[in-house]
């Protein structure tokens, strides 16, 4: 702009801005069509040309294109080539096709899946994502190549998780009753029920929601056993319940 302001820009090309837009459109059309996945004639719509552009329009277009307005007025074709090169340089390289897996690797993946399924439950399964990562492939690749084996693997892993959760829940309940954790809570060893929940969560790998449900269940059973212990006349079934409650650690 200093060239225009001080008058050093003595000569300009007639219709320089229109030539610049036409040349840049010819360079940009194929690239814009590739990026936007459109036909070249549709890509040309992204460049709107005016019959008599204002100074503000020319300045904005030149700023976006990355060239100077005096250069466009003096050499529109050269400026268009420079702007087109900038546009090409700013685009990411086209993605290359992913390498195909070798048949030997596909065979190895299938064998590992069969081996892992056949060794369960003697050998515990790992999470499906971790299993795929250990093989050096993605879980999507595994599911696509071996859908039946992957479905069996996932079902067996879910069964393993359910069984482990049941075992942890039984252990946590045994800690509450036979381990006297609940009676220690009533005696003030745990400052709050949340602290008892944290104790079960950290030591027996159960969710805090499950720990609270267990504590509420033990609370109700403890109240029933305590009421029975205070009664003078008990039926045979009530005496049996009281005896089992004491043996289980509710009192």
The domain spans of the chain are 2-90, 103-164, 177-248
Confidence of residue 109 (pLDDT cuts 50, 70, 90): very high
User: Lowest mean pLDDT: which of 13-17, 130-134, 140-144, 195-199?
Assistant: 13-17
> What confidence score (pLDDT) does residue 41 get?
41
pLDDT in tens, 173-231: 999 988 889 888 888 899 899 999 999 999 999 999 999 999 999 888 888 888 888 88
Q: Which of 8, 41, 57, 47 is nearest to 25 (CA)?
A: 47
Higher pLDDT, residue 182 or 165: 165
* Cα–Cα distance list, 58 to 2, 20, 45, 46 (Å): 15, 10, 18, 16
- Position 133 scores a pLDDT of 92
Q: What is the pLDDT of residue 47?
A: 44
Answer whether residue 140 shows pLDDT above 80.
Answer: yes
Between residues 18 and 132, the one the model is more confident about: 132
Summarize pLDDT for 28-78 with one digit per residue, the tens.
766 655 455 544 443 344 445 556 678 787 888 788 778 888 888 888 888
Q: How many CB atoms lie within 10 A of CB 93?
A: 5
Contact 146, 188 (CB under 8 A): no
pLDDT band at 98 (very low <50, low <70, confident <90, very high): low
């Amino acid at each position: 702009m200093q060239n225009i302001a001080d008058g050093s820009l003595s000569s300009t090309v007639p219709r320089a801005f229109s030539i610049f837009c036409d040349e840049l459109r010819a360079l940009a059309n194929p690239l814009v069509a590739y990026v936007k996945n459109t036909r070249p004639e549709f890509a040309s719509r992204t460049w709107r040309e005016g019959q008599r552009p204002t100074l503000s329009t020319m300045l904005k277009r030149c700023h976006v294109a990355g060239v100077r307005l005096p250069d466009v007025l003096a050499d529109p074709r050269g400026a268009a080539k420079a702007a087109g090169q900038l546009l090409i340089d700013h685009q990411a390289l086209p993605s290359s096709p992913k390498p195909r897996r070798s048949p030997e690797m596909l065979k190895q993946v299938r064998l590992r899946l069969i081996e892992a399924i056949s060794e369960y439950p003697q050998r515990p399964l790992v999470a499906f994502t971790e299993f795929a990562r250990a093989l050096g492939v993605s879980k999507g690749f595994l599911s696509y190549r071996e859908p039946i084996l992957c479905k069996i693997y996932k079902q067996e892993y879910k069964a393993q998780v359910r069984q482990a959760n049941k075992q942890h829940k039984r252990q946590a309940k045994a800690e509450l009753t036979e381990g006297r954790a609940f009676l220690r809570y009533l005696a003030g060893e745990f400052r709050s029920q949340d602290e008892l929940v944290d104790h079960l969560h950290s030591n027996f790998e159960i969710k805090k929601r499950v720990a609270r449900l267990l504590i509420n269940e033990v609370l109700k059973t403890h109240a029933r056993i305590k009421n029975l212990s205070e009664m003078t006349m008990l039926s045979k079934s009530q005496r049996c319940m009281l005896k089992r409650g004491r043996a289980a650690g509710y009192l």
